[in-house]
Amino acid sequence: MPDPFPSLPAFDPASLVGATLDGRYLIEEHLATGGMGAVFRARHVYMRKDVALKVLRPDLSASAELVERFRREAEIAASLEHDHIVRVTDFGRSPEGWLFLAMELLFGESLFDRLRREGFLPPDEAVSVLWQICDGLEAAHARGVVHRDLKPENVFLARTPGGREVAKILDFGIAKMADPSEVGATQVGMVVGTPEYLSPEQATGSAVDGRADLYTVGLIAWRALTGRHPFKADDPRSLLMMQATRPVPPLTEPRPDLADHPTLVAAVARACEKDPALRYQTARAMKEDLGLSLGPAFALPPGATPAPLVSYTSLAAEASREPSGTIQLGSVPSSPPLPGGRHATVDVRLVTPPPRRWARRQTLLVAAALGGAAALLGATLMTRSAPQPPAPVTAADPAEPPRPAPPPEPDDLSLARDHLSAGRARPARALLEALLVKQPDDPEQLRLLGHAYHDEGEALKAIEAWAQAQAHGPLDGAALEHLASDLARDRAVADRATPLLVKAGAAAGPALAGQLASTSTQVKLRALAVAREIGPTVKLDVLGGYLGLLADPDCDVRKAAARGLADLRDRRALPRLREKAAARNDRRGLFGVLIESKPVCGAPEAAEAARRLEAH
């Protein structure tokens, strides 16, 4: 049978590198290849901005259905401006026939790759990712968009320039609008999506809404927390039957230790209910319960907006309809204020409904802590006992031996140190941020907060904390080691770390020595520049480091090394600089006749450096 599309070029992603698509996107690097096409790193030639370019395979561009899916992904994703959804900026077809999608360029890895490498995630890491997925879904569902193909492969854990990690939802290619009257919506009876993460209603071809996505989030949570999928089947049909009919086992079956997180286990179980009416009804409700599942250890991801304060008046009415059985979680200020402008401190308690009674959301009960608040809230709330006045002080009975004083409880600063030494950065950060509200210039607290930020991947915030600490005293060796390691990060982080290392002076020497042993020439150049700024007190062989880089195969590195030697002003570099300045590339023809001779790359910079040293 003859090829129906003989003019379509074969799909060779490598052949597109170096090409300019649609006269705007210069393709610089092939990143990945998938079933529908390939993803490239490209640069917008007019805006000089890097993007990720998703290019559809040419043999698929002949399918009107797939082209429409590709266009739909662009339209839907472009309409969802949210921190936890990948941003799509352009869609088009080049004159050569290539269909493409331009989106923000992300650096990091997918949740699938993370789980394949690490097996499973500890509860605090898993909850942070799941919370961000729900945050993105909340925005999508508010626009009437149901993703329908969520899976670990479509959740990307991106590293920002500041060093923090952000979860991004990808691939809205088979998303649908929740409005059933929408023209072109997928017909009821069709099964679309990935079988491992389909909701029961998708598996049976029934109508879907946002609750289908929440079932999938429950399965992703199950996979992330246990290291495996809850169902195992030999073929897709059997898997679809399991998704439609078989209950998802509790998390504690493969991971009994998760019984220490009962609210998290309950939240995942509720998300995985087969009946949509028994699941979470909104992504916001699931997001809130995920946050509560870690109690005080949960911290909102950077940039997230906290939920409004609870209203004790509305909760009082709802509390009267809920069963008893509460878990103490902490205290928050009430809203609105009590008469006279006062705010009561209220105990936040999580009420867990009896098994299978998930049609209503978990309810927060509040109990007033200030005198007089109970009368305002009514008999539906339990009044917190008022503190009793201290007993009168009397003289000690001489016949009774003095009682030993109880050991002092550890203060918050000691607790923060303990958390950091045990690798628990999040609770340490919460304690230190609270302490610094009272003592914003305490150098020890600032140093420890910098360590907490750095352990959580927020390099710029860590550097800012250390900069404030350094204004009051020297940094410790661990902070200097972190700052030196930040020289290997992107330029914004490295440039911010440099002045702190220079200010540290000779104390930064050991940390810089470790970076000079790096295999990356870029890191070596940055470490040498810092050592050069500090001066001879740092006791590092800066001259030898630059001279070694003069022979680097990368021309830009040779140029930078020559400039560094000129700034170093050490005349011992003159012989090597003169040698490099005289190096030439000769092109000879027949019988060895010289046709062309020109300086090698980096020779002019070496000559300029030699001239500056000779004049010094």
- Collapsing DSSP states into helix, strand and coil, what is residue 399? coil
Looking only at the bridges linking them, the beta strands covering 155-159 and 108-110 are antiparallel
- Region 70-97: mean pLDDT is 82
Looking at residue 220, the DSSP 8-state letter turns out to be: H
- Residue 286's pLDDT band, with cuts at 50, 70 and 90, is very high
Say how far apart CA 122 and CA 127 lie, in whole Å. Answer: 9
Does residue 17 have a pLDDT over 90?
yes
Burial 274-307 (b: 16+ CB within 10 A, else e): bebeebbbbbbbbbbbbbbbbbeebbebbebeee
Structure tokens given for 120: 């499973």
Q: What is the mean pLDDT of residues 193-219?
A: 90
Structure token pair of residue 333: 């200020």
Q: Which residues, other chains included, contact 580 with Cβ-Cβ below 8 Å and sequence gap of 6+? A: 550, 558, 562, 600, 602, 603, 606
Q: Assign 3-class secondary structure to 85-148.
A: ECCEEEEEECCCCCEEEEECCCCEEEHHHHHHHHCCCCHHHHHHHHHHHHHHHHHHHHCCEECC
Lookup: tokens for 475: 């940094």
Residues 374-383 have a mean pLDDT of 31
Residue 149 annotated in active site: yes
Buried b (16+ CB within 10 A) or exposed e, 163-184: bbbbbbbbbbbbbbbbeeeeee
Q: Give the per-residue pLDDT at 402.
A: 53
Query: Mean pLDDT across the stretch 66-86?
Result: 80
Residues 70-90: what's their mean pLDDT?
82
- Compute the distance between CA of residue 471 and CA of residue 545 in angstroms, rounded to an integer: 31
| Between residues 216 and 99, the one the model is more confident about | 216
Please, which pLDDT band fits residue 539 given cuts at 50, 70 and 90?
Answer: confident
Q: Is a pLDDT exceeding 70 seen at residue 424?
A: yes
The per-residue pLDDT for 616 is 74
Average pLDDT of the residues in 517-537: 88
pLDDT of residue 205: 85
Mean pLDDT over 377-406 rounds to 41
The pLDDT value recorded for residue 129 is 96
385 pLDDT higher than 50 = no
Instruction: State mean pLDDT over 558-574.
Output: 90
Residue 229 confidence (pLDDT) above 90: yes
Alpha carbon dihedral 577, 581, 587, 593, in 10-degree steps, equals: -110
Arithmetic mean of pLDDT, 504-513: 92
Catalytic residue chosen out of the listed positions 3, 12, 113, 149 = 149
pLDDT at 307 over 70: no
pLDDT at 359: 31
Q: Highest mean pLDDT: which of 298-302, 414-418, 529-533?
A: 529-533
Instruction: Report the mean per-residue pLDDT for the chain.
Output: 77
Query: pLDDT, tens digit, for every residue of 426-460?
Result: 888 888 988 888 888 899 999 999 999 999 888 99
pLDDT for 10 equals 58
Residue 355 pLDDT more than 50?
A: no
